[in-house]
Structure 1
């Protein structure tokens, strides 16, 4: 059963687990479970995704309960009136506060995007990054006598593909567990010492003004016990409330 975080007559939000695809894709033909179909079966009605999360990212994922509600919410997204908050565990000591303003060239898939414009100019992309906590482990790593981590919150102002992952890598603070835009040596170290095999990126909050009621809606998702156990070993709080 998917964890339902919010539901009314127009929309429903779930806490998507890491590793679960949002919907069926011919790029992942072997997969048999998808958030969209699982939620449809759970509610016994059609659902319509209004945004997406990368497969390895967990957290708040919103669906509409009708095509009309989906169009209404899409207009909210297009108007930039959605506020998203993510938490990420990164390599190194991240800066206290940094607005990353770096255009990103669209990442194209060799199969799905083979007819797309390969020379499309980079698109503007901005992400606000705030460092919430830092940790040092007295374990030698490479030429360094210790290993450092940071917990950062990210507020994307635009919605480019893999934007947060690419922007944090641009800062030289890649997300732990990111096999495409991260540091695989640190990824392996993390698995060996903490035993958690996942991208450490969490969509923790989604805020918007409801298009039908004009009420401000804030939907939050828990990090989960496995993640809190890792944070505790890093010397941070193991209480979900401290990460809201």
Structure 2
């Protein structure tokens, strides 16, 4: 598997992470991003390191830092929410309204029978997601998500509870049908840098989105608020 590089300079790489590729080595074995880091050195002595995380099923923009100082700065940018992240997800239903904000605090639960998952809970960690309806096709809705916070499974839970339908293919918060994976794509990433142009990339629309009639990249809506991080 050859990873597509969307952005490259002396501090950063943004790759188009394929769906199905986990960042860490799976317990059951199999390939992960760790197996590709040596090929992503691109002439540098150090292997790049992921700055943030994407779920195994999630495709799209993943930022890697090419040295420890850059990793520290980029990590601080995520903490300070000086990062703009835009996702596209296919929701298994017709979404009412055109845009809005979902604010549901999230907490992790687990059981021996069902494993772990995230739920909405008043005592959970605050989670905010801005959303915009892009297109409807055959009872499915393409939605743009802009997470203001970065909780585990945030967009997946907010789609299920805030929009009233889970993402297509989601086996935990939906029925797992309609696609071979959870249809969530990190389509755009921008990280501001002091004294330098921002790190920025847009990831092409995946084939499984296009197969459902969502093959065109929607123009991002204009927003007045400051960039936010997941």
**TM-score range relative to shorter protein:** 0.7 to 0.9
1:176 to 168, 175, 178: 168
| Residue of structure 1 equivalent to 2:196 | 214
Q: 1:108–1:68: structure 2 CA closer, same or farther, 3 Å change rule?
A: farther
CA pair 107-215 structure 1, distance change in 2 beyond 3 A: farther
Taking structure 1 as reference, are residues 122 and 226 closer, same or farther at Cα in structure 2, changes over 3 Å only?
Answer: closer
Q: Which runs of 5+ in 1 are unaligned?
A: 137-147, 191-195
Deviation at 1:120, TM superposition (A): 11
| Offset from partner CA, 1:11-53 (integer Å, 9 cap, x none) | 11100011101122xxx22233111330323436411111000
Does structure 2 conserve the Cα–Cα contact (< 8 Å) formed by 1:106 and 1:123?
no
Structure 2: where are the runs of 5+ without partners? Answer: 221-230
8 Å CA contact 2:134, 2:142 repeated in 1: yes
Match of 1:39 among 31, 37, 40: 37
Partner deviation per Cα, 1:71-129 (whole Å, 9 max, x = no partner): 1111100001111100000111113112001111135697xxx9xxxx99301110011
Q: TM-score, normalised by structure 1?
A: 0.77
Deviation per residue, 1:124-173 (Å, 9 max, x gap): 1100111001123xxxxxxxxxxx11000000000000000000000212
The SS at the match of 2:108 is coil
In the other structure, the counterpart of 2:157 is 166
Q: How far apart, CA to CA, are the structure 1 residues paired with 2:89 and 2:40?
A: 30
Measured after TM superposition, the shift of residue 242 of structure 1 is 4.2
Deviation at 1:8, TM superposition (A): 0.5
SS in 2 for 1:105: strand
- Indicate whether 1:204 and 2:179 are aligned: no
**93-102 or 160-169, larger mean C-alpha shift:** 93-102
Q: Say whether 1:223 aligns with 2:215.
A: no
Tell whether the 8 Å contact from 1:125 to 1:159 is kept in structure 2 after alignment. yes
Indicate the structure (1 or 2) with the bigger Cα radius of gyration. Answer: 1
Query: In 2, are the aligned partners of 1:23 and 1:37 still within 8 Å (CA)?
Result: no
CA-based RMSD: 2.5
Equivalent residue for 1:23?
Answer: 24
Q: Secondary structure at the match of 2:210?
A: helix
Instruction: Quote the Cα distance in structure 2 between the aligned partners of 1:14 and 1:31.
Output: 23
Q: Distance in 2 between matches of 1:88 and 1:79?
A: 25
**Structure (1/2) with the larger helix percentage:** 1
Kindly indicate whether the alpha-carbon contact (under 8 Å) linking 1:106 and 1:120 is maintained by their aligned counterparts in 2: no
Q: Check conservation: 1:36, 1:47, Cα contact below 8 A.
A: no
With over 3 angstroms needed to count, the CA separation of the structure-2 counterparts of 1:76 and 1:107, relative to structure 1, is: farther
Is the alpha carbon distance of 1:99 and 1:120 closer, same or farther for their aligned partners in structure 2, counting shifts above 3 Å?
A: closer
